[in-house]
């Protein structure tokens, strides 16, 4: 018996032929099918799968198990890992289909989606091609304004980014551990201690990071590699435990399989991305599908179970074979298809899933398998890597071309009277400002100046750094609120420029200035950072004693509030938020400060700029007032003459129909926030409001 065989036997591994050692496990192919099917069902909006997103968690476990098993075999055979060959295999496995889908998605987006979507999609595609899209999507979801954008057709590439970032580091770690094991004399007990201890450490550290980050910056926990690495490491630890798992009794396997499939089914049926039982995802909730995946893999290691045989039936294993292609195709087909058709009905979604399935079959047999198994590439790892680099590089020119947009600054506009009501004058093409491709970025200077802060910040920005217009002016006016403060801030700054006021603007994303605690699942439930920021802002305002404070708040900010740790919504939330706003107003009045309430812009059901870009006709992009209760209006009604209300919507929706263009100025930069150019046209309304608050 050779030394290598002795080492393998000492480690409890099979001394079978290489072909037997690398034989495909049909039950794992079935698990791959299960994972991709629940993800597709979830994205297709099918009922009874609110937790279908956990299919990705199962993929992480399976990937960690399979890849680590291959690496451990290489270490026991050679004492190390060939990074060049490992990354060459990953390039052949991942890049051909992933690049094909990215290029096809970019071209389809150019043909079928709004011109204004192209630049952002192009950027998403480039990040995804470099397997770093997860960080871009985390940042977008953290950015309250960017999060309002429709889903990216390559959003699902976040999980691919997590895996590939993990596999940049993981084999290097295993090489280091192999050196430590070799220095110990390659003893079997040292093998278990060295590798097992490291894997457990990765799991514990990463899981702790995941739980902590979920409570502070949930998008970074959901999309971030450090917060997801523990799930891949859990699969890796299962691979390390194979010598033990192969000795399990058949009845033990049945128990593990039953517990695993029951746990996974429960996760699919009960979990929700918005959170469960006061926890948001992933946090501790992700332990359940991960543990279920480990149990399912462990149950089929070294023996069969009734569940394993069911998972090994050919229809399921075939879906497992094409699961990678199906995962990559289904999401862009759904997103682009529904945007092109203009409908999201169940029959449309199902038809699009069938189309994605067809594309998956074709790409699997014509692209994925042929290139992965190509002998000329397999025999030359350097050629595989060069081929992979060339594929990624090919995305750049396609994305650059397909994302390009020309200037769109002329649309047909129905003339309106001074009050905003359309007139009988025939509609004509007019030059609008800003140009539509610039509208999304036409915002005030507040974010760039650090005056509009993010979710986690609890302290107030610099007073002097956030003061605009005439800093030594006759009046001091403060604009305070959530992102709507940033949307109406340019109007107050313009008024300050006209009348010699010093205008200070402080805004915090999604943070109401009403004296209530907002319930925000993405922020871990109670949005306590908002409470801390509001209190700090009000204290500093009381100390500095400006003449007037303009309070601005979105109608959506207080849709759900917390009371004694419990969530309140609907009418109860409206009452509580109105009472909270009254307390804030009373507090400012008690300090001798005038108060103006600014109503929220009416939220559009679509992106008006996209509609204008597609139709070039403002008449086709109007919409009705949505009827959401305005806390500011309710507070004004309750407090009467004690408070002043400014209603920007009177200039946009005077007759209940909101116009996307007023006086040839584009009103919205997204679904709810005014462009800076339009906001500045409202200066007279805020001048009157500030004057009234000082009487």
Chain segment 313-362, per-residue pLDDT in tens: 999 999 999 999 999 999 999 999 998 998 889 999 999 999 999 999 99
Q: What is the pLDDT of residues 40-81, one digit of tens each?
A: 999 999 989 999 999 999 999 999 999 999 999 999 999 999
Architecture of the domain delimited by 428-693: 3-Layer(aba) Sandwich (3.40)
**Residue 412 neighbours by CB distance under 10 Å:** 17
Phi first, then psi: give them for residue 526, nearest 5 degrees: -70, 125
Percent of the residues in the chain that have a pLDDT greater than 70, as a whole number: 92
Closest by alpha carbon to 435, among 196, 652, 271, 616?
A: 616
Tell me: pLDDT of 5 over 80: no
Instruction: Locate 442 and state its tokens.
Output: 């036409």
Identity of the highest mean pLDDT range in 361-365, 527-531, 574-578, 600-604:
361-365
Report the chain's C-alpha Rg in angstroms.
29
DSSP state of 416: B
- State mean pLDDT over 444-462: 91
Instruction: Kindly give, in sequence order, each residue whose CB lies less than 8 Å from that of residue 160, ignoring residues fewer than 6 positions away.
Output: 94, 98, 128, 131, 133, 328
pLDDT for residue 17? 35
**What average pLDDT does range 403-426 have in this prediction?**
69
- Burial of residue 258 (CB within 10 Å: 0-12, 13-18, 19+) is middle
Of 184 and 5, which is predicted with more confidence?
184
Q: Cα–Cα distances in Å, from 467 out to 276, 304, 510, 539, 546?
A: 42, 70, 22, 17, 12
pLDDT attached to residue 521: 65
Nearest to 215 by CA among 509, 536, 455: 455
- Classify residue 366 by its DSSP letter: I
Which pLDDT band, with edges at 50, 70 and 90, does 454 fall under?
A: confident
Residue-level pLDDT at 13:
43
Q: What is the pLDDT of residues 362-400, one digit of tens each?
A: 999 999 999 999 999 989 999 999 999 999 999 999 998
- CB of 687 closer than 8 Å to CB of 495: yes
What phi, psi does 25 have (nearest 5°)? -85, 115
- Predicted structure pTM score: 0.83
Cβ(480)–Cβ(541) below 8 Å:
yes
**pLDDT given at position 11:** 44
Rounded (10°) angle between helices 570-590 and 631-639: 60
- Residue of 461, 587, 451, 455 lying closest to 528 (CA atoms): 455
Cα gap 393→527, rounded to integer Å: 43
Residue 15 pLDDT exceeds 50:
no
Prior bond to 434 cis, omega within 30? Answer: yes
Let me know if 72 is exposed, middle or buried by CB neighbors in 10 A (0-12, 13-18, 19+): buried
pLDDT score of 641 more than 90? no
Confidence of residue 127 (pLDDT cuts 50, 70, 90): very high
Q: What is the three-class DSSP state of 338? A: helix
Q: Which residue has the higher pLDDT, 344 or 422?
A: 344
- Give the pLDDT confidence of 546-574 residue by residue, as tens digits: 999 999 998 877 777 777 666 776 788 88
Q: Where are the beta strands (DSSP E) in 266-338?
A: none
Residue 59 near residue 156, CB atoms below 8 Å: no
Residue position matching structure tokens 């990071």: 209
Contact status, residue 642 vs residue 585, Cβ threshold 8 Å = yes
Of the listed ranges 45-49, 140-144, 184-188, the one predicted with least confidence: 140-144
What is the secondary structure of 104-130 as a DSSP string?
HHHHHHHHHS-GGGHHHHHHHHHHHHT
Q: In terms of DSSP bridges, do strands 475-481 and 428-431 run parallel, antiparallel, or are they unpaired?
A: unpaired
In the chain, what are the domain boundaries? 56-402, 428-693
**pLDDT tens sequence across 472-524:** 888 999 999 999 999 999 999 999 999 999 999 999 988 999 999 888 766 55
> What CA–CA distance (Å, rounded) separates 140 from 157?
14
Residue of 90, 109, 200, 186 whose CA lies nearest to 151: 109
**1, pLDDT greater than 50:** no
144 confidence band (pLDDT: 50, 70, 90) = very low
Bond into 282 cis (ω within 30): yes
Residues 6+ positions from 280 with CB-CB distance below 8 Å: 214, 218, 274, 521, 522, 523, 524, 525
Q: What is the spatial distance between Cα 665 and Cα 662, in angstroms, rounded to a whole number?
A: 5
Under 8 Å between Cβ of 81 and 178:
yes
């Amino acid at each position: 018996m050779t030394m290598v065989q002795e080492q393998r036997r000492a480690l409890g591994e099979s001394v079978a032929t290489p072909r037997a050692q690398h034989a495909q496990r049909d039950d794992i192919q079935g698990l791959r099918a299960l994972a991709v099917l629940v993800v597709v069902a979830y994205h297709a909006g099918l009922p009874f799968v609110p937790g279908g997103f956990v299919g990705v968690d199962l993929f992480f476990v399976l990937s960690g198990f399979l890849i680590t098993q291959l690496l451990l075999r290489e270490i026991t055979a050679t004492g190390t890992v060939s990074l060049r060959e490992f990354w060459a295999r990953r390039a052949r496995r991942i890049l051909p289909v992933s690049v094909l889908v990215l290029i096809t998605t970019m071209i389809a987006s150019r043909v079928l989606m709004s011109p204004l979507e192209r630049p952002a999609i192009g950027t998403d595609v480039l990040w995804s091609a470099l397997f770093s899209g997860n960080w871009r999507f985390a940042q977008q979801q953290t950015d309250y304004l960017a999060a309002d954008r429709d889903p990216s057709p390559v959003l699902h590439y976040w999980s691919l980014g997590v895996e590939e970032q993990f596999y940049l580091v993981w084999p290097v770690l295993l090489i280091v551990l192999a050196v430590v094991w070799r220095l110990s004399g390659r003893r079997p007990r040292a093998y278990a201690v060295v590798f097992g201890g490291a894997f457990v450490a990765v799991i514990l550290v990463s899981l702790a990071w995941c739980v902590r980050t979920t409570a502070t910056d949930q998008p970074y926990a959901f999309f971030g590699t450090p917060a997801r690495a523990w799930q891949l490491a859990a699969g890796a630890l299962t691979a390390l435990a194979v010598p033990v798992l192969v000795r399990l009794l058949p009845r033990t396997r049945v128990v593990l399989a039953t517990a695993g499939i029951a746990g996974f089914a429960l996760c699919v049926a009960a979990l929700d991305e918005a959170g469960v039982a006061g926890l948001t995802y992933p946090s501790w909730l992700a332990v359940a599908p991960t543990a279920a995946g480990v149990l399912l893999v462990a149950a089929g290691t070294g023996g069969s179970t009734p569940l394993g045989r069911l998972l090994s039936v050919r229809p399921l294993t075939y879906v497992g074979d094409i699961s990678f292609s199906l995962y990559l195709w289904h999401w862009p087909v759904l997103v682009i298809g529904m945007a092109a058709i203009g409908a999201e009905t169940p029959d449309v979604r199902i038809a699009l899933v069938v189309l994605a399935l067809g594309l998956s079959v074709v790409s699997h047999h014509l692209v994925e398998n042929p290139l992965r198994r190509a002998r000329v590439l397999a025999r030359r790892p350097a050629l595989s890597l060069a081929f992979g680099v060339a594929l990624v590089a090919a995305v750049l020119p396609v994305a650059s071309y397909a994302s390009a947009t020309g200037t769109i600054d002329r649309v047909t506009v129905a003339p309106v009277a001074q009050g905003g009501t359309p007139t009988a004058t025939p509609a004509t093409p007019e030059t609008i400002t800003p140009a539509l491709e610039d509208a999304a970025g036409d915002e005030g200077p507040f974010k760039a100046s650090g005056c509009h802060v993010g979710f986690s910040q609890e302290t107030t920005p610099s007073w002097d750094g956030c003061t605009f217009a005439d800093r030594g002016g006759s009046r001091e006016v403060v604009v305070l609120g959530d992102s709507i403060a940033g949307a109406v801030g340019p109007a107050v700054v313009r008024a300050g420029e006209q009348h010699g006021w010093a205008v200070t603007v402080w805004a915090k994303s999604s943070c109401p200035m009403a004296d209530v605690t907002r319930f925000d699942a993405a922020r871990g439930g109670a949005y306590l950072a908002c409470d801390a920021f509001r209190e700090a802002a009000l204290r500093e305002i009381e100390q500095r004693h400006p003449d007037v404070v303009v309070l601005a708040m979105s109608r959506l900010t207080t849709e759900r509030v917390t009371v004694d740790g419990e969530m309140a919504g609907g009418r109860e939330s409206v009452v509580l938020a109105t009472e909270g706003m009254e307390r804030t107003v009373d507090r400012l009045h008690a300090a001798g400060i005038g108060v103006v309430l600014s109503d929220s812009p009416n939220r559009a059901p679509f992106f008006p700029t996209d509609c204008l870009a597609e139709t070039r006709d403002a008449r086709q992009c109007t919409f009705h007032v949505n009827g959401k209760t305005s806390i500011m209006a309710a507070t004004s009604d309750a407090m009467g003459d004690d408070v002043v209300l400014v209603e920007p919507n009177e200039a946009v929706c005077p007759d209940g129909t909101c116009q996307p263009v007023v006086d040839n100025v584009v009103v919205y930069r997204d679904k709810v926030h005014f462009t800076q150019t339009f906001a500045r046209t409202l200066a007279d309304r805020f001048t009157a409001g500030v004057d009234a608050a000082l009487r």
